[in-house]
Amino acid sequence: MIDKVIFFIIIIIKIFLFPTSQSTDFEVHRNWKAITNSLPISKWYFYSKNKWTLDYPPLFAYMEYILGKLSKFFDPNITNLDSINYDSLVCKTFMRGTVLLGDLFLYFSIKFLSKNINLSFNKFLVLLISILFYAGLVIVDNMHFQYNGILFGLFFVSLGYIAKKKYTHGAVFYAICLCMKHIFIYFAPAYFIFYFQHIIINNIKKGNYKSLMINVINIGLGIYAVLQLTFLPFIVISIQKKNLSQLIQIKDRLFPVQRGLLHTYWAPNFWALYSFADKILYFIHDKLSKKYKFIEKIFDFILKFKDNKDINNKRNTSSIGASENGVSKETGFDIMPDINIKITNIIIVAFIIIYYIKYFCQISNNKTRKIKNRKIMEFIKHCIFSNLIFFNFGYQVHEKAFLNISLLALIYYILLKDNEEEYLIKKKAEIKKYHYFDILT
């Protein structure tokens, strides 16, 4: 009952945030409801008459379609494609109300996860408050406007099933997450290695080939079913038109490489430092190279690694007022070598390999004490590191992607504290036992 009261209080507080000024994402999601309800499905990913084009996977688009259908009972103008920047009181109330429905789902998913990792009720309450009232989530969802509550709710359900060793269910819910928002691809290396280790390697070691085959087939079929149902309408259209334009267009919308290395609002990652270094070098070149010949020779050497070697030929994407001006476009650097998506992917793969080499070397040497929820803690740690690597070195990383790391870190910390407390209780019990034995002898 206490958890329901806490949830109710948090929801009341979030309702008071309804009048806060909405961001561009408010109009983005309103417009997506309009696109999915005003156009045939074949045109969803081709519509480009305004800048709020649909660039989330189809499963999220279906959710927007359903919410758009519901919105017509409250305000038909919500799904009007011509209602640009529409924000009537009814529209704002309905839109923000749909986010609270996501919070309701998030509440049940946290409860499901807590039950499956055997958290005490007090720890469950801590986890519930920590996530539902986490400042980053409140700002991004309830003020800025997004639907991360629904997305992370699905992911927590996946975690809960993995904790209970229901790996097929865990994989299916991860596939659903991925088909809702493609940023969950940051978790893919963690899922792949964890499943490879605990389903394939462990079953081979035990000689349990039947279990291995059953698990692999079930997981494969589960993921295939999610992907097939998600993309089925677009596959049917592609078959009818005898071309892959629908699927290619979805791919281009989900991975808009043309937007460049840096997002409109920078993620504070390695490429932000890289861009800052480029600006410093540009000003050094501009002020000092004419005075000191050796500085000019150094810059001549650095510029050999650039496609555009003429530093005086300034482009729209040059560092002066371009990469930091809030416009998402292809980013060029004046001094430092330009970075494309192939380079970022190579760096990401390299760091993931380094991380897992270190991890497998450690587990082969470690003989540690028995830890409660060891596997799920191990998996969460993999997810955190995988997301950190993508966040720091990925192409076009959104600053809000740090939610993936911070929310998982909250769960990991609570599990860690739970283990420490249990360990101390056992140690105290052992000390009392041996102390009592000493008195008797």
Tell me, what's the pLDDT at 319? 43
Q: What value does the mean pLDDT of the chain take?
A: 84
- Span 166-181, pLDDT tens digits: 999 999 999 999 999 9
CA angle 138, 154, 45 (to 5 degrees): 85
Separation CA 189–CA 386 (nearest Å): 7
Percent of the chain with pLDDT strictly greater than 70: 82
Rounded-to-integer distance, Cα 389 and Cα 193, Å: 15
Q: What's the whole-number mean pLDDT along residues 285-296?
A: 66
332-391 tens-digit pLDDT: 677 778 888 899 999 999 999 999 988 888 776 655 556 677 888 889 999 999 999 999
Task: Pick the closest to residue 70 from 90, 94, 53 (CA basis).
Answer: 94
- The per-residue pLDDT for range 197-244, each reduced to its tens digit, is 889 888 888 888 888 899 999 999 999 999 999 999 999 998 888 888
Task: Decide if 110 contacts 132 (C-beta within 8 A).
Answer: yes
CA–CA separation, 153 and 157 (whole Å): 6
Confidence of residue 108 (pLDDT cuts 50, 70, 90): very high
Kindly list the distances between the CA atom of residue 395 and the CA atoms of 45, 142, 322, 329, in Å, as whole numbers in the listed order.
Answer: 22, 27, 17, 12
Between 367 and 287, residue with greater pLDDT:
287
Inter-residue contact 373 to 118 (CB < 8 Å): yes
